[in-house]
Structure 1
Amino acid sequence: MYDCALKELPHRVKLAVLDLIEETPKYKPYDELKHTVITRMNEIYETRARRILPNVELGNRSPSELLAHMRHMVEGTQIGDMELRPVWIKCMPAKMRPYIGYCSYDLSLDDVAKHADDMHRELQAEEKAASQSMRRKAKRIIDSAVNELSEVVKQICELLDPLPCDRQQ
Protein backbone atom coordinates (compact mmCIF):
# COMPACT_ATOMS: atom_id res chain seq x y z
CA MET A 1 0.00 0.00 0.00
CA TYR A 2 2.89 2.36 0.82
CA ASP A 3 4.49 1.86 -2.62
CA CYS A 4 1.18 2.38 -4.45
CA ALA A 5 0.46 5.57 -2.51
CA LEU A 6 3.97 6.84 -3.12
CA LYS A 7 3.62 6.37 -6.89
CA GLU A 8 0.41 8.42 -6.92
CA LEU A 9 1.79 11.41 -5.00
CA PRO A 10 2.33 14.57 -7.05
CA HIS A 11 5.95 15.69 -7.35
CA ARG A 12 5.48 18.72 -5.05
CA VAL A 13 4.10 16.44 -2.32
CA LYS A 14 6.97 14.00 -2.76
CA LEU A 15 9.37 16.89 -2.15
CA ALA A 16 7.63 17.58 1.17
CA VAL A 17 8.12 13.98 2.36
CA LEU A 18 11.49 13.25 0.80
CA ASP A 19 12.84 11.88 4.08
CA LEU A 20 10.15 9.16 4.09
CA ILE A 21 10.91 8.30 0.48
CA GLU A 22 14.64 8.01 1.09
CA GLU A 23 14.15 5.87 4.18
CA THR A 24 10.91 3.89 4.34
CA PRO A 25 9.42 3.88 7.85
CA LYS A 26 9.76 0.48 9.51
CA TYR A 27 6.46 0.51 11.41
CA LYS A 28 3.22 1.04 9.45
CA PRO A 29 4.85 2.88 6.53
CA TYR A 30 1.56 3.74 4.80
CA ASP A 31 0.07 5.27 7.97
CA GLU A 32 3.27 7.22 8.61
CA LEU A 33 3.30 8.49 5.00
CA LYS A 34 -0.36 9.49 5.17
CA HIS A 35 0.03 11.33 8.47
CA THR A 36 3.22 13.09 7.35
CA VAL A 37 1.75 14.15 3.99
CA ILE A 38 -1.31 15.65 5.67
CA THR A 39 0.71 17.39 8.38
CA ARG A 40 3.39 18.84 6.15
CA MET A 41 1.08 19.88 3.35
CA ASN A 42 -1.18 21.65 5.85
CA GLU A 43 1.87 23.51 7.14
CA ILE A 44 2.85 24.50 3.60
CA TYR A 45 -0.71 25.58 2.74
CA GLU A 46 -1.05 27.53 5.95
CA THR A 47 2.26 29.32 5.45
CA ARG A 48 1.26 30.33 1.94
CA ALA A 49 -2.16 31.54 3.05
CA ARG A 50 -0.71 33.39 6.07
CA ARG A 51 1.58 35.37 3.78
CA ILE A 52 -1.46 36.70 1.92
CA LEU A 53 -3.66 36.99 5.03
CA PRO A 54 -1.25 38.23 7.71
CA ASN A 55 -3.61 40.15 10.02
CA VAL A 56 -7.03 38.64 9.49
CA GLU A 57 -9.18 38.31 12.62
CA LEU A 58 -12.75 37.30 13.35
CA GLY A 59 -13.56 40.61 15.02
CA ASN A 60 -17.30 41.34 14.94
CA ARG A 61 -17.91 39.07 11.96
CA SER A 62 -19.56 35.69 11.94
CA PRO A 63 -17.33 32.77 10.94
CA SER A 64 -18.98 32.56 7.51
CA GLU A 65 -18.51 36.31 6.97
CA LEU A 66 -14.83 35.92 7.84
CA LEU A 67 -14.53 33.05 5.37
CA ALA A 68 -16.12 35.18 2.63
CA HIS A 69 -13.71 38.02 3.46
CA MET A 70 -10.70 35.69 3.32
CA ARG A 71 -11.84 34.21 0.01
CA HIS A 72 -12.16 37.71 -1.40
CA MET A 73 -8.63 38.57 -0.23
CA VAL A 74 -7.08 35.51 -1.92
CA GLU A 75 -9.09 35.89 -5.11
CA GLY A 76 -6.84 35.47 -8.14
CA THR A 77 -4.21 33.50 -6.24
CA GLN A 78 -3.65 29.76 -6.19
CA ILE A 79 -5.02 29.57 -2.64
CA GLY A 80 -8.21 27.59 -2.22
CA ASP A 81 -10.27 26.25 0.65
CA MET A 82 -7.66 23.61 1.47
CA GLU A 83 -5.13 26.37 2.22
CA LEU A 84 -7.67 28.69 3.85
CA ARG A 85 -9.09 26.09 6.21
CA PRO A 86 -6.27 25.99 8.81
CA VAL A 87 -5.82 29.78 8.73
CA TRP A 88 -9.56 30.33 9.09
CA ILE A 89 -9.75 27.84 11.99
CA LYS A 90 -6.97 29.70 13.83
CA CYS A 91 -9.06 32.88 13.61
CA MET A 92 -11.88 31.25 15.56
CA PRO A 93 -12.28 31.67 19.33
CA ALA A 94 -10.14 29.19 21.27
CA LYS A 95 -13.23 27.41 22.67
CA MET A 96 -14.46 26.65 19.14
CA ARG A 97 -11.20 25.55 17.50
CA PRO A 98 -11.11 21.95 18.70
CA TYR A 99 -14.64 21.24 17.44
CA ILE A 100 -14.15 22.95 14.10
CA GLY A 101 -10.68 21.51 13.62
CA TYR A 102 -11.98 17.98 13.93
CA CYS A 103 -14.67 18.45 11.29
CA SER A 104 -14.10 16.01 8.50
CA TYR A 105 -12.39 17.23 5.37
CA ASP A 106 -15.31 15.55 3.60
CA LEU A 107 -17.41 18.51 4.76
CA SER A 108 -17.07 21.59 2.61
CA LEU A 109 -15.60 24.64 4.28
CA ASP A 110 -18.97 26.37 3.75
CA ASP A 111 -20.70 23.62 5.75
CA VAL A 112 -18.08 23.87 8.49
CA ALA A 113 -18.61 27.66 8.52
CA LYS A 114 -22.38 27.16 8.98
CA HIS A 115 -21.71 24.91 11.99
CA ALA A 116 -19.21 27.48 13.26
CA ASP A 117 -21.83 30.25 12.93
CA ASP A 118 -24.20 28.25 15.16
CA MET A 119 -21.46 27.57 17.70
CA HIS A 120 -20.38 31.22 17.63
CA ARG A 121 -23.93 32.42 18.32
CA GLU A 122 -24.20 29.99 21.26
CA LEU A 123 -20.80 31.05 22.59
CA GLN A 124 -21.73 34.73 22.35
CA ALA A 125 -25.01 34.06 24.20
CA GLU A 126 -23.13 32.17 26.94
CA GLU A 127 -20.55 34.95 27.24
CA LYS A 128 -23.29 37.59 27.39
CA ALA A 129 -25.12 35.64 30.12
CA ALA A 130 -21.88 35.17 32.07
CA SER A 131 -21.06 38.86 31.70
CA GLN A 132 -24.52 39.89 32.94
CA SER A 133 -24.21 37.50 35.87
CA MET A 134 -20.79 38.96 36.76
CA ARG A 135 -22.20 42.50 36.53
CA ARG A 136 -25.09 41.60 38.85
CA LYS A 137 -22.69 39.97 41.31
CA ALA A 138 -20.33 42.96 41.18
CA LYS A 139 -23.27 45.34 41.71
CA ARG A 140 -24.39 43.36 44.79
CA ILE A 141 -20.85 43.47 46.21
CA ILE A 142 -20.52 47.21 45.53
CA ASP A 143 -23.99 47.93 46.96
CA SER A 144 -23.11 45.94 50.08
CA ALA A 145 -19.81 47.81 50.46
CA VAL A 146 -21.58 51.16 49.97
CA ASN A 147 -24.17 50.22 52.62
CA GLU A 148 -21.44 49.19 55.06
CA LEU A 149 -19.55 52.40 54.36
CA SER A 150 -22.73 54.43 54.88
CA GLU A 151 -23.22 52.75 58.25
CA VAL A 152 -19.62 53.52 59.26
CA VAL A 153 -20.02 57.16 58.17
CA LYS A 154 -23.28 57.35 60.12
CA GLN A 155 -21.58 55.95 63.25
CA ILE A 156 -18.69 58.40 62.87
CA CYS A 157 -21.14 61.29 62.51
CA GLU A 158 -22.96 60.15 65.66
CA LEU A 159 -19.67 60.06 67.55
CA LEU A 160 -18.68 63.48 66.28
CA ASP A 161 -22.08 65.11 66.83
CA PRO A 162 -21.56 65.88 70.52
CA LEU A 163 -18.08 67.27 69.92
CA PRO A 164 -19.06 70.58 68.32
CA CYS A 165 -21.33 71.32 71.33
CA ASP A 166 -18.52 70.52 73.79
CA ARG A 167 -16.17 72.85 71.94
CA GLN A 168 -18.60 75.75 72.04
CA GLN A 169 -18.93 75.62 75.81
Structure 2
Amino acid sequence: MDSSHSEITPATLSLNISVFNPANIKSWFIQIQVLFDTKQITLQRTQYTYLVEKLPSDIVDLLETIPEENPYDWLKEAILKRTGLSNESLLRNLFTHVESEDRTPSQLLRHLRTLLGDNKMSKNIMRSLWLDKLPASTVQIVAPTAEGIEPDKLTEIADQIHENLRTC
Protein backbone atom coordinates (compact mmCIF):
# COMPACT_ATOMS: atom_id res chain seq x y z
CA MET A 1 0.00 0.00 0.00
CA ASP A 2 3.06 2.26 -0.02
CA SER A 3 2.89 5.16 -2.41
CA SER A 4 5.05 8.18 -3.04
CA HIS A 5 2.70 10.73 -1.44
CA SER A 6 3.22 11.98 2.09
CA GLU A 7 0.95 11.18 5.02
CA ILE A 8 1.84 14.32 6.97
CA THR A 9 -1.31 15.93 8.34
CA PRO A 10 -2.01 17.96 11.49
CA ALA A 11 -3.15 14.69 13.12
CA THR A 12 0.10 12.88 12.35
CA LEU A 13 2.22 15.82 13.47
CA SER A 14 0.80 15.35 16.98
CA LEU A 15 1.59 11.63 17.08
CA ASN A 16 2.92 10.87 20.55
CA ILE A 17 4.72 7.53 20.63
CA SER A 18 5.76 6.46 24.10
CA VAL A 19 9.40 6.02 25.03
CA PHE A 20 10.98 2.73 23.93
CA ASN A 21 10.23 0.13 26.58
CA PRO A 22 12.60 -2.86 26.47
CA ALA A 23 10.80 -4.46 29.42
CA ASN A 24 7.69 -5.10 27.34
CA ILE A 25 8.47 -4.81 23.64
CA LYS A 26 5.28 -6.51 22.42
CA SER A 27 3.05 -4.12 24.37
CA TRP A 28 5.08 -1.18 23.09
CA PHE A 29 4.49 -2.28 19.50
CA ILE A 30 0.78 -2.79 20.18
CA GLN A 31 0.56 0.80 21.46
CA ILE A 32 2.38 2.07 18.40
CA GLN A 33 0.10 0.13 16.05
CA VAL A 34 -2.97 1.57 17.77
CA LEU A 35 -1.56 5.08 17.27
CA PHE A 36 -0.87 4.35 13.60
CA ASP A 37 -4.39 2.97 13.14
CA THR A 38 -5.99 5.90 14.96
CA LYS A 39 -4.07 8.45 12.92
CA GLN A 40 -4.52 6.39 9.73
CA ILE A 41 -0.81 6.09 9.12
CA THR A 42 -0.50 3.20 6.71
CA LEU A 43 2.67 3.83 4.74
CA GLN A 44 5.51 1.54 5.81
CA ARG A 45 8.12 4.28 5.28
CA THR A 46 6.20 6.74 7.51
CA GLN A 47 5.72 4.12 10.23
CA TYR A 48 9.42 3.27 9.97
CA THR A 49 10.38 6.94 10.39
CA TYR A 50 8.24 7.37 13.51
CA LEU A 51 9.68 4.18 14.98
CA VAL A 52 13.32 5.16 14.34
CA GLU A 53 12.71 8.46 16.12
CA LYS A 54 11.98 6.58 19.38
CA LEU A 55 14.79 4.04 19.26
CA PRO A 56 17.67 4.21 21.75
CA SER A 57 21.19 4.43 20.38
CA ASP A 58 22.02 0.79 21.16
CA ILE A 59 19.32 -0.32 18.69
CA VAL A 60 20.24 2.13 15.93
CA ASP A 61 22.91 -0.17 14.49
CA LEU A 62 20.04 -2.22 13.06
CA LEU A 63 19.55 0.60 10.59
CA GLU A 64 22.64 -0.04 8.46
CA THR A 65 20.61 -1.84 5.81
CA ILE A 66 17.05 -0.72 5.22
CA PRO A 67 14.95 -2.71 2.77
CA GLU A 68 12.94 -0.79 0.19
CA GLU A 69 9.84 -2.92 0.74
CA ASN A 70 8.10 -3.00 4.13
CA PRO A 71 10.81 -1.20 6.14
CA TYR A 72 8.59 -0.88 9.23
CA ASP A 73 7.79 -4.61 9.33
CA TRP A 74 11.47 -5.42 8.80
CA LEU A 75 12.60 -3.10 11.61
CA LYS A 76 9.91 -4.33 14.00
CA GLU A 77 10.97 -7.94 13.42
CA ALA A 78 14.66 -7.04 13.86
CA ILE A 79 13.92 -5.23 17.14
CA LEU A 80 11.85 -8.14 18.45
CA LYS A 81 14.64 -10.59 17.62
CA ARG A 82 17.32 -8.37 19.16
CA THR A 83 15.56 -7.35 22.35
CA GLY A 84 12.88 -9.95 22.97
CA LEU A 85 13.33 -12.88 25.28
CA SER A 86 13.55 -16.33 23.78
CA ASN A 87 10.51 -18.59 24.13
CA GLU A 88 12.43 -20.62 26.69
CA SER A 89 13.16 -17.50 28.78
CA LEU A 90 9.53 -16.38 28.55
CA LEU A 91 8.32 -19.74 29.81
CA ARG A 92 10.90 -19.81 32.61
CA ASN A 93 9.74 -16.35 33.72
CA LEU A 94 6.14 -17.49 33.50
CA PHE A 95 6.71 -20.36 35.92
CA THR A 96 9.27 -18.87 38.29
CA HIS A 97 9.35 -15.08 38.39
CA VAL A 98 5.76 -13.92 38.09
CA GLU A 99 4.15 -12.59 41.25
CA SER A 100 0.68 -11.22 41.77
CA GLU A 101 2.06 -7.91 43.07
CA ASP A 102 -0.70 -5.28 42.93
CA ARG A 103 -2.48 -6.89 40.00
CA THR A 104 -6.09 -7.93 40.07
CA PRO A 105 -6.68 -11.58 39.19
CA SER A 106 -7.74 -10.62 35.65
CA GLN A 107 -4.65 -8.43 35.19
CA LEU A 108 -2.49 -11.30 36.41
CA LEU A 109 -4.06 -13.70 33.91
CA ARG A 110 -3.50 -11.21 31.06
CA HIS A 111 0.11 -10.81 32.18
CA LEU A 112 0.62 -14.59 32.21
CA ARG A 113 -0.87 -14.84 28.72
CA THR A 114 1.44 -12.09 27.50
CA LEU A 115 4.45 -13.92 28.89
CA LEU A 116 3.23 -17.10 27.24
CA GLY A 117 3.63 -15.35 23.90
CA ASP A 118 3.20 -17.65 20.92
CA ASN A 119 3.56 -20.76 23.08
CA LYS A 120 0.51 -22.91 23.71
CA MET A 121 -0.63 -24.14 27.11
CA SER A 122 -3.74 -26.09 28.08
CA LYS A 123 -6.47 -24.19 29.91
CA ASN A 124 -6.05 -26.49 32.92
CA ILE A 125 -2.33 -25.82 33.25
CA MET A 126 -2.83 -22.07 32.79
CA ARG A 127 -5.62 -22.08 35.40
CA SER A 128 -3.41 -23.97 37.84
CA LEU A 129 -0.47 -21.63 37.26
CA TRP A 130 -2.75 -18.59 37.65
CA LEU A 131 -4.22 -19.95 40.90
CA ASP A 132 -0.71 -20.58 42.24
CA LYS A 133 0.14 -16.91 41.73
CA LEU A 134 -3.00 -15.48 43.38
CA PRO A 135 -3.11 -14.46 47.06
CA ALA A 136 -3.97 -17.42 49.29
CA SER A 137 -7.16 -15.79 50.59
CA THR A 138 -8.53 -15.42 47.06
CA VAL A 139 -7.50 -18.95 46.08
CA GLN A 140 -9.27 -20.45 49.11
CA ILE A 141 -12.55 -19.03 47.85
CA VAL A 142 -12.05 -19.43 44.08
CA ALA A 143 -10.33 -22.83 43.84
CA PRO A 144 -13.29 -25.04 44.82
CA THR A 145 -15.37 -23.54 41.98
CA ALA A 146 -12.55 -23.19 39.43
CA GLU A 147 -13.03 -26.56 37.73
CA GLY A 148 -15.24 -26.36 34.66
CA ILE A 149 -15.61 -22.56 34.60
CA GLU A 150 -14.22 -20.70 31.60
CA PRO A 151 -11.07 -18.71 32.51
CA ASP A 152 -12.57 -15.31 31.66
CA LYS A 153 -15.66 -15.93 33.81
CA LEU A 154 -13.47 -17.25 36.60
CA THR A 155 -11.35 -14.08 36.53
CA GLU A 156 -14.49 -11.95 36.87
CA ILE A 157 -15.44 -13.90 39.99
CA ALA A 158 -11.88 -13.73 41.33
CA ASP A 159 -11.74 -9.96 40.70
CA GLN A 160 -14.93 -9.49 42.74
CA ILE A 161 -13.59 -11.63 45.57
CA HIS A 162 -10.23 -9.87 45.46
CA GLU A 163 -11.91 -6.46 45.63
CA ASN A 164 -14.14 -7.52 48.52
CA LEU A 165 -11.18 -8.92 50.47
CA ARG A 166 -9.20 -5.70 49.95
CA THR A 167 -12.01 -3.53 51.34
CA CYS A 168 -12.46 -5.67 54.46
TM-score (norm 1): 0.42
Greater helix share, structure number: 1
Higher Cα radius of gyration:
1
Q: TM-score, normalised by structure 2?
A: 0.43
